[in-house]
Amino acid sequence: MRSSSSLVGRDLLSVADLSADEVRRIYATAATLKAEFRATRRHAVLPLPGRTLAMLFQKPSLRTRVTFEAGMAQLGGHAVYLTSDAVLGARESVRDVARNLERVVDAIMVRTGPHEVAVELAAQADVPVVNGLTLREHPCQALADVFTIQERFGRLDGLVLAFVGDGNNVYHSLALLGAALGMEVRLAHPPGYAPNDRIVTRARELAAGSGGRLVFGHDPSAVVRGASVVYTDAWTSMGQEAETEERRDAFAGYRVDDALLDAAAPDVVAMHCLPAHRGEEITSAVMDGPRSLIWEQSENRLHVQKGLLVELLGGGAPA
């Protein structure tokens, strides 16, 4: 993780772009904004009046679109929604899209497949570029998730998060962020579904400096033992539809249900980045039960992304 005196004008392509102190700064701003919004459903002083965010979507979304668009409106700004039919290689090159947008908007959020698309946008545009999802990482999701965990437990150091399922983009970002903040991040995955080696290497470097730890295994019951957070994601992500049946077979023993939670710590909570396939990777009894933190983490996408946008664009959070 890098260090800087200010986040203004910065890109966010990976959670590893942020220092631990910068994450805490975003969280402090998000907490202030959340408290005011929860109390009044508005902000008395708008931190980003007249500012504009371009949102480029090559992947469908519910939470990413609504939380960024609503968030900009609540901060006094505006969001422009653009689909892949209009931009990013369909009609214009990524380079040309970046050079056009930087002249008329204050920031760009991109939700795409290849991570290289987000990297090229950031290289070509002179305004902040935020990764709203790529196949490699999902940094905004991880930021919101870890914020939610900190809210629930009041700490992160030494806390155990067990991810049950695929070593995918969500796991990558959780591993990087959790390791940097002193958490123990575990992964229970079927053989052949391990995370990216470079991500694991980087996460271990971050863990070495924070007291964090990475743990891997194939037995979900063993991996969740002592975990305060059990996290899961869909077995088949966007773009993997051809592998659906193969993945259902491979992940059949990796469902998060009440029995699996009972094997974890007494204070365990369940998390899921959504959308969920009820009855596959998670049961409805867990999702809707007393140990679910899923809806709080979904809401926190709004508050943490607002905190991020205020820091990147130099707005002032309400006092």
Instruction: Give the CA radius of gyration of the chain.
Output: 19
| Mean pLDDT value across residues 89-117 | 92
Q: Structure pTM? A: 0.95
Q: Is 240 contained in some domain? A: yes
6 pLDDT band, cuts 50/70/90, is confident
- Does a structural domain hold residue 188? yes
Q: Is 301 a catalytic residue?
A: yes
User: Within a domain: residue 74?
Assistant: yes
Active-site residue, selected from the candidate residues 138, 172, 272, 303 = 138
Catalytic residue status for 273: yes
Which pLDDT score is estimated for 201? 98
Whether residue 5 lies inside any domain: the answer is: no
Catalytic residue among 247, 255, 273, 303: 273
Let me know if 257 is a catalytic residue.
no
Q: Are residues 129 and 159 in the same domain?
A: no
In the residue annotation, 140 being an active-site residue is answered as no
Which of 63, 301, 303, 305 is flagged as catalytic?
A: 301
Residue 316 has a CB neighbour count (10 Å cut-off) of: 11
Q: Pick the catalytic residue: 58, 233, 247, 297?
A: 233
Confidence of residue 319 (pLDDT cuts 50, 70, 90): very low
Q: Is the peptide bond before 60 cis (omega within 30 degrees of 0)?
A: no
In the chain, the number of structural domains is 2
Q: At residue 2, does pLDDT exceed 50?
A: no
- 105 and 37 together in one domain: yes
The pLDDT value given to residue 4: 47
The yes-or-no answer on residue 111 being catalytic is yes
Quick check: is 138 catalytic?
Answer: yes
Candidates 244, 283, 243; CA nearest to 261 is 283
Q: How confident is the model at residue 59 (pLDDT cuts 50, 70, 90)?
A: confident
